[in-house]
Amino acid sequence: MSGPDGGWGQFDRFIAHRLPALYRYAYILTGNQHDAEDLVQEALTRTGVAWSRVKRKDDPEAYVRTTMARIMANRWRRPRRERLVADAPELPVEDGALDRVADADRLDSALASLPPRMRAVLVLRYVEELSEEETARALGCSKGTVKSQASRALAKLRVVMSLAENRHG
């Protein structure tokens, strides 16, 4: 890294400026606060290692978001080995904008009811506005898989949202 601080100051400023948005993105991808925090931490660690390369690109945030999507795709492919602990080791990140996302209970519940891959396809296609090809690359699958997962996910969301609406009047 170049400069008096080796580029770390620029990386720190990037994190300070974009952390809330990256956290919200991770929350949508993972469906819960704790996994979102882990995902952001892992993606930023990888970005920090590659920062000298990343900072020369036009959009470092896109690099981090792509890294998050790839981490999630890799998690779906391998078996889960979770260890539960009695107490949380850290305090959660506080973000008022995230509270607004969490307040949309019906949509949040509907999204949480989707399998992780379907949720990721919807996030990448409709939140990140990636093309089918870009989504397929990010998730390491075919364009046809993206199309079918998106179609099934939207159909399932319609049913779940309709049922929730009927229950609440």
Which residue ranges make up each domain of the chain?
1-103, 104-169
Left if phi > 0, otherwise alpha if psi is -120 to 50, otherwise beta: which for 132?
Answer: alpha
Mean pLDDT (the chain) is: 81
Selecting from 3.40.50.300, 3.30.420.480, 3.40.50.150, 1.10.10.10, what CATH number does the domain 104-169 have?
1.10.10.10
Judged against a pLDDT cut of 80, whether residue 104 lies above it is answered with: no
pTM of structure: 0.54
- The average pLDDT across 137-142 equals 90
Q: pLDDT of 29-43, one tens digit each?
A: 888 899 999 999 999
- The average pLDDT across 22-33 equals 90
Question: What stretches of 31-59 show up as alpha helix (H) in DSSP?
Answer: 33-49, 51-54
Closest CA to 107 of 28, 169, 21, 166: 28
Query: Cα–Cα distance between 132 and 139 in angstroms, integer?
Result: 11
CATH architecture of the domain 1-103 equals: Orthogonal Bundle (1.10)
